[in-house]
Amino acid sequence: MRYDAIVIGIGGMGSAAAWHLASRGRRVLGLEQFTIPHELGSSHGLTRIIRLAYSEHPSYVPLLRRAYELWRAMEQRAGEPLLVITGGVDVGPEASGTIEGSLRSCLEHGLPHELLDAAEIERRFPGFRPPRDLVAVYQPEGGIVLPERSMVVHAAAARELGAEIHEGERVTEWRPEGGGVRVRTEAGEYAADRLVITAGPWASRCVPELARLAIPERQVLIWTQPLRPERFAVGAFPIFNLEAEEGRFYGFPVYGVPGLKLGKYHHLGQQTDPDRVDREFHPEDEAVLRAGIRRYLPDADGETLLMKTCLFTNSPDEHFILDLYPEWPQVSMAAGFSGHGFKFAPVIGEVMADLAMEGGCARFDLGLFGLHRFV
Ligand SMILES: Cc1cc2nc3c(=O)[nH]c(=O)nc-3n(C[C@H](O)[C@H](O)[C@H](O)COP(=O)(O)OP(=O)(O)OC[C@H]3O[C@@H](n4cnc5c(N)ncnc54)[C@H](O)[C@@H]3O)c2cc1C
């Protein structure tokens, strides 16, 4: 059988792309090398931050508004929570990229927010102990999305509409054929009119041109037992980004499993091969995360409950890559999510369905995300 579209990689973005394609009545084949979900890529670890006042760039806000709508729609369809609103704070020095960027998005898009000084941060959220020179942008829409459940429900919804999704089947090669594509896997060969590549940390294996544009980086997360659990419960503690002297920490209230979860952007700065990631934990992994907890969240400085490794896939400017393959417009790619992509998964799925089937995306300005910016 010939498919309308093949999706390589049924992770965060690919599961949503398969769902959007199937919901438009397309014959879809999704190919995933592992299981749905799995713990070897970028989309595990139980929780991801979602926020609307986007410090990275105001261009993301329209995508985010749509992402919130699609998260809610998929929750309704699946009959289970995927998005939990907790409130969020971006914390940092007033002149930092985090604070200035967050305020810029709020002002350009008229987003509800409050600017808090350090004393007010601590009064509202006693789990924080911010140095006096830090301020926060509080945004009521901040919250948590659930990555593993998201992939499961998107893949299940796509399958219900007739999509074929093969797990444990790695794509070894693809090539353009006429106006379409032929895809070879370890198990067989398939033909389709369109190819969508959402291979996460393996992106450059599928598109060699991405070798210097989508670089995997090892991350480590920690969950600690709070010494004062009531200060870190949903309702008492928000999701946060904290730009500090040590770097940028991010974290979550206790949700789903015991423990406050914290990570640090770019952790130890270790680029890696996605098939040879060091998944052991070393004293220096814990030390860099503990330093943030001890200094800024001392009441969470209890025993380590859990640690996990995960992969960022960084683009040079840390903005996403959403585009058609330059020579073959029947091939589209979503890559380089650079540690902040998951919250967008349902809207990236929609964008990829547009790129694949319409050859472009009229509903959003994708100017920030084109491959041309690297030429
Ligand atoms: C520690 C950590 C914390 C993060 N925190 C946040 C956050 O708070 N908020 C946020 O929005 N984002 C966050 N991110 C980023 C976000 O999780 C990623 O941007 C997102 O998960 C990327 O999804 P993806 O679909 O590109 O990759 P993945 O979900 O890894 O999917 C790629 C899939 O492709 C499959 N694949 C690859 N090659 C092949 C092949 N040849 N054949 C078949 N299948 C293949 C892989 O097995 C994989 O399942 C975080 C990331 C990490 C690592």
Q: Is 129 in the pocket of ligand 1 (CB under 6 A)?
A: no
Q: How confident is the model at residue 358 (pLDDT cuts 50, 70, 90)?
A: very high
Atom of ligand 1 nearest to the CA of 308: 1
Q: How many CB atoms lie within 10 A of CB 14?
A: 32
For CA atoms 256, 259, 262, 267, give the dihedral sign.
negative
For CA atoms 272, 274, 280, 281, give the dihedral sign.
positive
CA dist 113 and 117 (Å) reads 13
Where do we find the tokens 């699946």?
Answer: 78
pLDDT at 312: 98
Taking the whole predicted model, whether its pTM rises above 0.75 is answered as yes
Question: What is the SS3 assignment for 10?
Answer: coil
Average pLDDT over residues 256-273: 98
Tell me the CA end-to-end span of the chain in Å, nearest whole number.
38
Q: Which of 34, 337, 344 to mutate to test the pocket of ligand 1 (most atoms within 8 A of CB)?
A: 337
Q: Which of 36, 90, 202, 320 to mutate to test the pocket of ligand 1 (most atoms within 8 A of CB)?
A: 202
CA dist 277 and 132 (Å) reads 39
* Contact (CB, 8 A) for 54 and 102: yes
Q: 213 burial class (0-12, 13-18, 19+ CB within 10 angstroms)?
A: buried
Q: How many CB atoms lie within 10 A of CB 271?
A: 10
CA dist 119 and 114 (Å) reads 14
Give residue-wise pLDDT tens across range 274-307: 999 999 999 999 999 999 999 999 999 999 999 9
Q: Is 44 in the pocket of ligand 1 (CB under 6 A)?
A: no
Q: Tell whether the model's pLDDT for residue 1 goes beyond 90.
A: no
CA dist 43 and 234 (Å) reads 22
Catalytic site positions: 44, 47-48, 261, 266, 310, 343
Q: Is 251 in the pocket of ligand 1 (CB under 6 A)?
A: no
User: 132 to each of 92, 93, 105, how far by Cα in Å?
Assistant: 10, 9, 25
Closest residue CA from atom 51 of ligand 1:
339
pLDDT at 218: 98
Q: Which amino acid is at 16?
A: A
Give residue-wise pLDDT tens across range 317-342: 999 999 999 999 999 999 999 999 99
With CA atoms as reference, report the closest residue to 310 among 330, 289, 324. 289
Closest residue CA from atom 23 of ligand 1:
12
CA dist 42 and 199 (Å) reads 10
Q: Which of 34, 40, 48 to mutate to test the pocket of ligand 1 (most atoms within 8 A of CB)?
A: 48
Give residue-wise pLDDT tens across range 122-161: 999 999 999 999 999 999 999 999 999 999 999 999 999 9
Q: What percent of the chain has pLDDT over 90?
A: 99
Q: Characterise 300 by phi-psi region: left (phi > 0), alpha (psi -120 to 50), beta (else).
A: alpha
Q: Tell whether the model's pLDDT for residue 162 goes beyond 90.
A: yes
* Contact (CB, 8 A) for 8 and 183: yes
Atom of ligand 1 nearest to the CA of 343: 11
Atom of ligand 1 nearest to the CA of 341: 19
With CA atoms as reference, report the closest residue to 91 among 247, 263, 232, 243. 243
Q: Characterise 85 by phi-psi region: left (phi > 0), alpha (psi -120 to 50), beta (else).
A: beta
Give residue-wise pLDDT tens across range 238-253: 999 999 999 999 999 9
pLDDT at 167: 98
Closest residue CA from atom 29 of ligand 1:
11
Closest residue CA from atom 12 of ligand 1:
340
Residue 42 CA to ligand 1 centre (angstroms): 3
Residue 243 CA to ligand 1 centre (angstroms): 23
Q: Tell whether the model's pLDDT for residue 375 goes beyond 90.
A: no
Q: Tell whether the model's pLDDT for residue 347 goes beyond 90.
A: yes
Q: Mean pLDDT score of the chain, rounded to an integer? A: 98
Give residue-wise pLDDT tens across range 216-229: 999 999 999 999 99
